[in-house]
């Protein structure tokens, strides 16, 4: 499962911390999805400016819920945010890297 999210300036630091991160953790912690090496795999892509539109996590990199939650906890808004939302670029990139 790929998770794509808009991390442009309109999201804001507070929403990123209080809304986006908890939302991103929901599928990772869902028992129904069974995220693990033998179950559902997660890929994460963030998009904003061209330079900040990137895959943060490939499908095969980290697949334990604890490690994925740690990865999300380590993300800093100012490191991955940008001025605009490059949705088209994100969709093109996900098409290129998807399985």
Quick: pLDDT tens for 55-89. Answer: 666 767 778 899 889 988 888 766 655 566 666 66
Q: What is the CATH number of the domain that holds 63?
A: 3.40.50.410
Distance (Å, rounded) from C-alpha 93 to C-alpha 43? Answer: 12
Per the structure, the complete domain to which residue 72 belongs is given by: 2-97
Q: How confident is the model at residue 32 (pLDDT cuts 50, 70, 90)?
A: very high
Distance (Å, rounded) from C-alpha 66 to C-alpha 25? Answer: 10
How many CA atoms are closer than 13 Å to the CA of 56, on its beta-carbon side?
25
pTM for this prediction = 0.67
Contact 46, 56 (CB under 8 A): yes
Domain count of the fold of the chain: 1
């Amino acid at each position: 499962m790929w998770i794509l999210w808009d991390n442009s300036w309109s999201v804001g630091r507070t929403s990123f911390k209080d809304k986006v991160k908890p939302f991103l953790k929901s599928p990772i912690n869902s028992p129904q999805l069974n995220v693990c090496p033998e179950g559902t795999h997660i890929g994460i892509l963030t998009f904003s400016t061209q330079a900040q539109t990137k895959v943060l996590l490939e499908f095969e990199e980290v697949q334990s819920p604890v490690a994925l939650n740690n990865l999300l906890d380590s993300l800093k808004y100012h490191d991955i945010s940008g001025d605009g939302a490059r949705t088209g670029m994100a969709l093109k990139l996900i098409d290129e890297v998807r399985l």
